[in-house]
Amino acid sequence: AVMGVEIEVLQPGDGNTYPQKGDMLTMHYTGTLSSDGTQFDSSVAKGRPFQFVIGIGQVIRGWDEGVTQMSLGEKSVLKISSDYGYGPRGAGGVIPPNADLNFEVELLAVGEKKAPGFTGGSGGGGCVMS
């Protein structure tokens, strides 16, 4: 079994723009249990990307360590061992204790820099009134 996080690249990013600690990231993800493939969460299904700040413990360790190795626009599978996931506690009744997790993730934006093809925002175009 893998310890920590292993990254399987599905679609390379720009190879240039990597998240730094403290960056606000915008990502799509689909999380599944590695044991049987049960999907427990997906921003894609919800139709809205997930935004968070990287490197400060807002997300599980496997994300904090794995996502910083991805470049803008990259789509990858993060294979995360339970100690880098939710550990012995599990989560929310959907992730059992000591579960290894797979997240298919796509890095859509790093701060204000958006991946090609990602328009972002909350659906409205044009300028935002302050």
3-state secondary structure of 53: strand
83 catalytic residue (yes or no): no
Catalytic residue among 64, 80, 84, 103: 103
60 catalytic residue (yes or no): yes
54 catalytic residue (yes or no): no
56 catalytic residue (yes or no): no
Taking the C-alpha atoms of residue 71 and residue 86, their distance in angstroms, rounded to an integer, is 25
Report the 10 Å Cβ neighbour count for 80. 28
Enclosing H/E stretch for 26 = strand 24-33
29 catalytic residue (yes or no): yes
40 catalytic residue (yes or no): yes
Catalytic residue among 41, 52, 83, 118: 41
Catalytic residue among 7, 54, 60, 80: 60
Any idea which residues carry the catalytic annotation? 29, 40-41, 60, 86, 103
